[in-house]
């Protein structure tokens, strides 16, 4: 997590062996609204197959719109309101 171009936005990076996602997220989508460091961010689970999940982080992806990871990394933060 690093500061973004706006005070309520952060540049986030999620990376593991399966996938990488880099994008801008609003502080309201973060578990802790920190300026720099590590925290969790909200994502919408799109698919679950064979111990992996495909998620769309709540933000604006720079390199991709989705992220692939193992189910053991999932931590419920709460529901996201439909728009």
pLDDT digit string, tens, across residues 23-56: 999 999 999 989 999 998 999 999 999 989 999 9
Q: Output the six-digit token pair for 4.
A: 């973004």
7 secondary structure, DSSP code: T
Please check whether residue 18 is in contact with residue 63, taking contact to mean a CB–CB distance below 8 angstroms: no
Please check whether residue 9 is in contact with residue 27, taking contact to mean a CB–CB distance below 8 angstroms: yes
Q: How high is the pLDDT of residue 6?
A: 93
The fraction of the chain above a pLDDT of 90, given in percent, is 67
pLDDT band at 76 (very low <50, low <70, confident <90, very high): confident
Q: Rounded to an integer, what distance in angstroms lies between the CA atom of residue 6 and that of residue 2?
A: 11
Q: How high is the pLDDT of residue 81?
A: 61
Whose structure tokens read 């709540």?
58
pLDDT band at 10 (very low <50, low <70, confident <90, very high): very high
What does the domain layout of the chain look like in residue ranges? 2-73
Q: Output the six-digit token pair for 57.
A: 């982080």
């Amino acid at each position: 997590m690093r500061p973004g171009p706006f005070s309520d936005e952060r540049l986030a990076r999620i990376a593991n062996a399966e996938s990488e996602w880099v994008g801008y997220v609003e502080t309201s989508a973060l578990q802790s609204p920190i300026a720099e460091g590590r925290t969790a961010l909200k994502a919408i689970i799109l698919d679950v197959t064979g111990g992996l999940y495909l998620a769309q982080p709540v933000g604006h992806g720079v390199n991709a719109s989705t992220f692939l990871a193992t189910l053991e990394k999932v931590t419920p933060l709460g529901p996201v309101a439909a728009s």
